[in-house]
Structure 1
Amino acid sequence: MALYPWQNAIWQNIVKRHAKSGLPHALLLTSTKGIGKHELTRTIARWLLCQSESKHHGDVSSCQCHSCQLWEAGSHPDFMLCQPEDNSRQIRIDNVRKVNELIFQTPQISACQVVILRPAEVMNTNAANALLKTLEEPPGESYILLETERFGSVLPTIRSRCQRITLPVPSREESIDWLAQQGVSQQDAVLALTRNGHAPVAAAEWLSSGTGAKQEKWAQELVQWTTRQLPLDKVASAWAKLEFQDVIQWFYQISCDALKVACGAPSAHLQFAEPVTELQAQSVADTQLLITFQKKVQNMLGQLLSGASHYNKTLTTEALLLEWQALNTVTAGVKE
């Protein structure tokens, strides 16, 4: 796959570094969600495995060497993708043992082995400890490319043994231009980027998947619930049928926006300005209560993303909705 235009500078730097002094055995690529991090990591992996002389120029997209043919077929024996399996949200020790087994073998086709491990923050403690030993004493020409969207959640012992590459969010103009090339109007592009933290790949997926329409429905239901126009069971039962992590992620973003409004931030700084400002017009939540609520949802989201916790979706959703309505109602009562 071709690189996204905003990745070219980082890519050329990686190629130059490799030609000059080589790359470290472990790279930790970190970025916000939705800017094409995994596509870049896959490009690095294919390039490292490539057998062609043209790889020194950094372009292997059209290479037909034996390694690249195996890569395209998804059957390269010197490559492994390590990620959660079997409906688990964690990378477990058995996954890392497979990584170690590959890394300590002699390469079969290419001059090295390459592993992509993603997301690095969901390795449980046993898995991280098993990987740590390999990172401390990497064998031969092997590379481990780790990906993360939550750098602070990666264990310090893992972080300290990797070289970090931070991928910046592209500029607004660059993102809009790229979305226009995908056939997206400027109006839709601006809205999609706002809703997705200005991440263009996430914005494109948001538009194509219909997520925007779903979130609009959630927003309407939240406003109706908060203002007591809709009963709890109708909102909670509908939300419980959705992907729980998506709902909590959205609720967290809404709570962040509400907190920004309570602190005087303008609507231009909000991801979901419409429902939050509509709620503000009817009752503004107490700032301290909002901070407590936002931290609670943040912790819940962190546990879900790490795969460390399981929640009863219906009961948890009902509890959050009741707490949300209460913290908005408190201020309304004080104002009266």
Structure 2
Amino acid sequence: MRLSTFLLSTVIGLALFPGLTLAKTQSVETATLAGGCFWCTESDMEKLDGVLDVVSGYAGGELKNPTYKQVSSGKTGHIEVVNVRFDTSQVSYEQVLDQFFRHIDPTDNQGSFVDRGPQYRPAIFYHNEQQKQIAERFIKEIDALGVFKKPLKTELIKFDEFWVAEDYHQDYYKRNPLRYKYYRYASGRDQYLDDIFGEQREEQPKTLREWIDEKNKLADIKPYIRPSDEQIRAMLTETQYDVTQNDGTERPFNNAYWDNKQLGIYVDIVSGEPLFSSLDKYKSGTGWPSFTKPLDGSYIVTKPDNSLFYTRTEVRSRFADSHLGHVFEDGPAPTGLRYCMNSAAMRFVPLEDMKQQGYETYLSLFE
């Protein structure tokens, strides 16, 4: 078809069918990653949205078309790797690396969990200079974050050639689910990752990029000091101590602020961190002070709470680590959230006292 005819037919088609859109050209890139046993790495990388396919294989050695037996001997110079093909319109190379690092031990260059030897060490085989630069920068940021507790020892190696592993290694976790689950559990991989990222890391994942951005943001906020345990015990009432230190809950309709209508802000009873504003407070009918959003999200930390028969989202203060309450998704507009807090975990600062007590930053909200 001539170009002019194609363009004319396209214009006519769009005119006749306004909802018709041209298909977006898919841009595919490949990441070659070594994270120990390729059964596990393949399984974890295939969970990432935007990943098209993951193939297990070998890279880094000089022997052509090596076998698993040869590579596992540790004498060929190869490393067990996966080739990850991904759609760059859906997921970036850094996001692929983020998923990769959150499912391996990047600090062990002598092997990976129960699999020992150089053929199981962590590595990134970069395909071009851009991938190399992204990986170098990201590794430095993760190291500075300190989430892995040890320095990263993940090698950056220029990609040369990828050799596909034997058929029985491909999609091993799907073809042999029982053997795979047994191996994975016995390897200690998930136990290690749970210790680093928490047992809810799969259900409520938090990316390394989110951790890094959060840390950078915290560097710009005013820090608050958590007193010693002895000081906290002395300064709090029995109820305040039980709520903030023992994750307790006060009685509804029988607490200081559930019906407070004064203008001002609510701060952490232990550290003074600014938590909520009266401007975001509403009558929820629960008997506890409820808010649609925090005053400053930098001072709020949320985490899964499995203390009941279902999972709730606990709310804690960042610096004092006080238990404040829980947040639910049944609140009013504009957020749809209900931050259900304990009065005993907070101290109310009236609007007229905010400047004197060092909270003048938030006065503009009340103008």
Same fold (TM over 0.5): no
**Structure whose residues are more often helix by fraction:** 1
What band does the TM-score fall into relative to the shorter chain?
under 0.3
Instruction: Considering Cα pairs closer than 8 Å and 6+ residues apart, tell me whether 1 or 2 has the greater RCO.
Output: 1
TM-score by length of 2: 0.24
TM-score by length of 1: 0.25
Larger Rg: 2
